[in-house]
Amino acid sequence: MQHRLRIALFQPDIAGNTGTILRTAACLGLAVDIIEPAGFDLSDRNLRRAGMDYLELAALTRHVDFAAFEDWLHRESRRLVLLTTRAETPYTAFGYLPGDVLLFGRESAGVPDSVHETADSRLTIPMVAGRSLNLAVSVAMVAGEALRQVG
């Protein structure tokens, strides 16, 4: 199966979230890119527990750092769509394309300014002030909207 729409995780902190995202991606037919270093061992048992037997179905690509990911992104001619609290455009008001890579930052710190500036588009999930969603929930919401749009 060719994976067009992709989820990218920038240096994820929590194995359980990453496992849940891998499981979600496997169920939805999406590929996942992990930009290292992660805040946990990618063979961590929590990752396997959260991903259950879906991990074998997940299309996972690991990138040693953001520079390697960015090189791959340009070779593939893909558009980088960053989800961030520092954006104005709601994720539901954006026109997704089949080759988009949806980038989500670390649970603890998001992405650095240098990564923020490289994104082709920046989107946000509108929330009540002072609240935030779990990363895996955010990924599922945005991926669902992107899939709805691209078919």
For the chain, domains (ranges, CATH) are 6-150 (3.40.1280.10)
User: What is the residue whose two structure tokens read 């690991």?
Assistant: 62
Compute the average pLDDT of residues 23-38: 92
Q: What is the pLDDT of residue 70?
A: 97
Average pLDDT over all residues of the chain: 90
Confidence of residue 41 (pLDDT cuts 50, 70, 90): confident
Q: pTM for this structure?
A: 0.92
Q: What is the pLDDT of residue 132?
A: 85
Alpha-carbon dihedral sign for residues 115, 28, 139, 18: negative
Residues paired with residue 18 on neighbouring β-strands, in sequence order: none
The residues, any chain, with a CB within 8 Å of residue 121's CB and separated by 6 or more, are: 79, 80, 81, 82, 89, 94
Q: What is the pLDDT of residue 1?
A: 40
Compute the average pLDDT of residues 102-127: 96
> Residue 66: pLDDT above 80?
yes
β-strands 121-124, 89-90 pairing: parallel
- Which tops the pLDDT comparison, 54 or 76? 76
SS3 of residue 134 by DSSP: coil
Q: What is the pLDDT of residue 44?
A: 59
